[in-house]
Amino acid sequence: MIAGMAKTLPRNADVAEQLELLSDILELEGEAAYRLLAYRRAAALVREQPGLVAELALEGKAKELPGIGKTIEGKIVEIVNEGEIRALTKHKALVPPDVVEFTRLPGLGPKTARKIWQELGVTTLADLKAAAKAERLRVLPGIGAKLEERIVKELSGKRKAPEEVRPLLGVGLPAVQAVVTVLRAHPAALEVSDAGSVRRRKETFRDLDIIATASEPAALTDYFTKLRWVEKVAAKGESKATVVSNDGLRFDLRVVPAGLYGNLLQHFTGSKHHNVALREDAVRVGFSVSENGVKDVESGEVFKTGSEEALYEFLGYQYIPPELRENLGELEAARNGELPELVELSDLRGDLHAHSTWSSDGKNSIEEMAAEAKSRGYSYLAITDHSHYLRDGRLEAQAREIEALNETLGRFKLLKGIEVNIRADGSLDVDDETLAGRDWVVASLHTAFDKNPTERVISAMENPNVDCIGHLTARKINRRGPADIDLSRVFETALATKTFLEINSQPDRLDLRDAHARAAGEAGVLLSISSDAHSTRALAYPELGVGQARRAWLTKEQVLNTRTWPQIKKLLG
């Protein structure tokens, strides 16, 4: 690329999408499965990278990522130079676009879609529905009345939203924790745990998984389906049930034999990619791993365990915390005994981003916020009300209130903070002299997210009064995508200017997100985990932020507010 040439590189999501589409199309053409698997793995990997994989590909460094080789790297370069993978352009012309859509229908996979297309000449969704209605699909071997019926039903329903909305962790986590608590109290229950993506603290989820052992499995399952908030029982057997709650959340309970609890908890915690990689590793040393145990292929002996820890140990790994189980390097690190000791919620000593009624959207007074922070065991709380509500002498009045309260709070300290806006031109909406009088200054983007966001953040960091950047990309999960921030430049500037970055714990922000926070940590940037609370209740949000920090492989040392306020002050220089 020519130096200085402003060329917009494709986002990782776009690269991944092209790789996935290519594999879908090739599969419909009958291509060998393992090439497709390689594309799909590469796509999944690309999605989870913090930096632009396209940039790495241009430098010839994308193939250092496990799962990307010379060929796929070349395809990514094609996306940069020509907008699309050449093979994708070519093969798109060979397979009717609707045939790819066929496979999105539940129960209809690539093999069946291919047969319908090739042998019946059906190429559009409308034709497919008509053929199913006219019972013309059942002439094909392997297709019967049931599938025809299903196709008609699926295609008759109102068009589903193009992308399914996944509920937020902040909604699912308390919900699943409440159900786990209720089930544990049942006399038949022995062990009960959350599982699945929520246990891994992934930012959104599809359903909520619970694993249990019980003296009487049927009794526990039955109790589960009769809890008062259950609106619908979608499936129910002796040891497995699925229910939908009155707020639309899907809960899955599996009651498993005690002797297999470790194997099954591991299996149902996932992620899928982690489990696949773990099983591949095991195959190489002669073990076959499944939810039913670890089988020694040669002797036929099966290792079953009630403990997840024992399972990882048996396979030759350190115990891998659920938050790390994404096949992003944790297996290798665990094999070598190099996993980091992850930060925990109880490590937090204070909160550096919170609002009070001085911000018009705040629900509680400073006094109430302080009492709640104190009761959480914190030794400090930064009140960072929005700058625009603190004009015309209100800032001074607020400061006096904080000072007066500090007289009454013993060793607990309220910090005079402020959250300033980074304007569209990169300047701050509060003058330097005012900022210099505050203990703690957070600067955030709140508007014009597509207007030079990187430059604006950098110019804010270069102001010596700014201590921390709030919610860096300003995304709102399911509502607004992230601003296009050049992370490596931001990290570089953060280190040079001694500015911290935040993991904002608001359920719909979680910003920095996991991959970004991991990259920040690797770059040596310290991160604060803060609530951005606008009410006393929201001071509990850092549980979610700590989840993201753990997914980002962060240790206690890499998190700023595991320190006391005097220690932080020293770092501010």
Closest separation in Å from C-beta 269 to DNA: 11
Rounded Cα gap, residues 309 and 302, in angstroms: 17
Does the footprint of DNA cover residue 234 (CB under 7 A)?
Answer: no
CA 454 to chain centre: 23
Tokens representing 170 are: 């902040």
In the complex, the smallest distance separating the C-beta of residue 41 from DNA, rounded to whole angstroms, is 7
Residue 406 token pair = 């500090």
**Residue 39 interacts with DNA (CB under 7 A)?**
yes
Q: Residues touching DNA: how many (CB under 7 A)?
A: 54
Instruction: Name the one range near DNA by CB under 7 A: 168-176, 280-288, 344-352, 482-490.
Output: 280-288
| 514 lies in the binding site for DNA (CB under 7 A) | no
Residue in 295, 314, 306 with CA at minimum distance from that of residue 212: 306
Which is nearest to 15 in space by CA: 59, 45, 60? 45
Closest to DNA by CB, 154 or 323: 154
Residue 36 neighbours by CB under 8 Å, 6+ apart:
23, 26, 27
Six-digit token string for 479: 């509502």
Minimum CB distance to DNA, residue 571 (Å): 37
Part of the chain binding DNA (CB under 7 A), chosen from 100-108, 219-227, 407-415, 431-439? 100-108
Give burial (CB, 10 Å; 0-12/13-18/19+) of 516.
buried
- Among 142-150, 430-438, 506-514, 563-571, which window interacts with DNA (CB under 7 A)? 142-150
Residue 118 to residue 141: CA distance in whole angstroms = 13
| 320 is an interface residue for DNA by CB under 7 A | no
3-state secondary structure 345-369: HHHCCEEEEECCCCCCCCCCCHHHH
337 scored as a contact of DNA (CB under 7 A) = no
When binding is defined by CB under 7 A, the residue of 1, 13, 126, 145 that contacts DNA is 145
| Among the listed residues 174, 248, 259, 286, the single contact to DNA using CB under 7 A | 286
Regarding 336 and contact with DNA (CB under 7 A), the answer is yes
Tell me if 259 contacts DNA by CB under 7 A: no
- For 266, the token pair is 């591991």
Q: Select 65 or 182, whichever has its Cβ closest to DNA.
A: 65
527 scored as a contact of DNA (CB under 7 A): no
Could you say whether residue 113 binds DNA (CB under 7 A)? yes
Give 67 or 167: the residue with its C-beta nearer to DNA: 67
Measure the CA–CA gap between 22 and 513, rounded to whole angstroms.
Answer: 28
**Binding of DNA by 60 (CB under 7 A):** no
| Contact residue for DNA among 51, 66, 329, 464 (CB under 7 A) | 66
**CA angle, residues 332, 556, 520, in degrees to nearest 5:** 70
Residue 73 vs 308, nearer CB to DNA:
73
Residue 146 binding DNA, by CB under 7 A = yes
The answer to whether 465 and 443 have CB atoms below 8 angstroms apart is no
Which residues lie below 8 Å from residue 512, measured CB to CB, with a gap of 6+?
Answer: 472, 473, 501, 502, 503, 504, 520, 527, 548, 552
142 binds DNA (CB under 7 A): yes
For residues 369 and 357, give the distance between their C-alpha atoms in angstroms, rounded to a whole number.
10
Is 143 near DNA (CB under 7 A)? Answer: yes
421 Rama class: left (phi>0) / alpha (psi -120 to 50) / beta? beta
Nearer to DNA, 34 or 411 (CB): 34
Asked if 32 touches DNA (CB under 7 A), the answer is yes
Q: Where are the alpha helices (DSSP H) in 48-85?
A: 53-58, 70-82
Query: Does 71 contact DNA by CB under 7 A?
Result: yes
Of 98-106, 222-230, 393-401, 425-433, the segment contacting DNA by CB under 7 A is 98-106
Q: What is the identity of the amino acid at 548?
A: Q
As given in the structure block, the two tokens for residue 527 are 């991160």
Residue 30 touches DNA, criterion: CB under 7 A: no
Nearest partner of 546 among 534, 528, 532, judged by Cα:
528
The residue among 128 and 539 lying less far from DNA, judged by its C-beta, is: 128
State the Cα–Cα distance between residues 283 and 247, nearest whole angstrom: 43
Using CB under 7 A as the binding rule, whether residue 290 contacts DNA is answered as yes
Q: Which of 144, 248, 259, 566 binds DNA (CB under 7 A)?
A: 144
Residue 111 interacts with DNA (CB under 7 A): yes or no: yes
Q: Exposed/middle/buried for 4, CB within 10 Å: 0-12, 13-18, 19+?
A: exposed
Q: Which is nearer to DNA, 35 or 363 (CB)?
A: 35
Binding DNA (rule: CB under 7 A), the pick from 47, 250, 279, 446 is 279
522: number of Cβ within 10 Å: 14
Nearer to DNA, 92 or 451 (CB): 92
| Binding-site member from 9, 17, 38, 296 for DNA (CB under 7 A) | 38
Interface residue with DNA among 112, 204, 221, 548 (CB under 7 A) is 112
Binding status of residue 128 toward DNA by CB under 7 A: no
User: Which neighbouring-strand residues pair with 418?
Assistant: 441
Interaction between residue 377 and DNA (CB under 7 A): no
Q: Which stretch binds DNA (CB under 7 A): 140-148, 376-384, 508-516, 521-529?
A: 140-148
Does 34 interact with DNA (rule: CB under 7 A)? yes
CB 197 within 8 A of CB 270: yes
Strands (DSSP E) contained in 237-286 are: 240-245, 250-255
Please name which of 212, 218, 205, 203 lies closest in space to residue 183, comparing C-alpha atoms.
212
**110 binds DNA, rule: CB under 7 A:** yes
What's the min distance (Å) between Cβ of 267 and DNA?
Answer: 8
397 binds DNA (CB under 7 A): no
Could you tell me whether strands 413-421 and 440-444 are parallel, antiparallel, or unpaired per DSSP bridges?
Answer: parallel
Least separation in angstroms between residue 201's CB and DNA is: 18
Cβ–Cβ under 8 Å, residues 195 and 207: no
Is the Cβ of residue 97 or residue 566 nearer to DNA in the bound state?
A: 97
Helix, strand, coil percent values for the chain (each to nearest 5) = 45, 15, 40
Q: Which residues bind DNA (CB under 7 A)?
A: 32, 34-35, 37-39, 42, 63, 65-73, 103, 105-113, 138, 141-148, 272, 275-276, 279-280, 282-286, 288-292, 295, 335-336
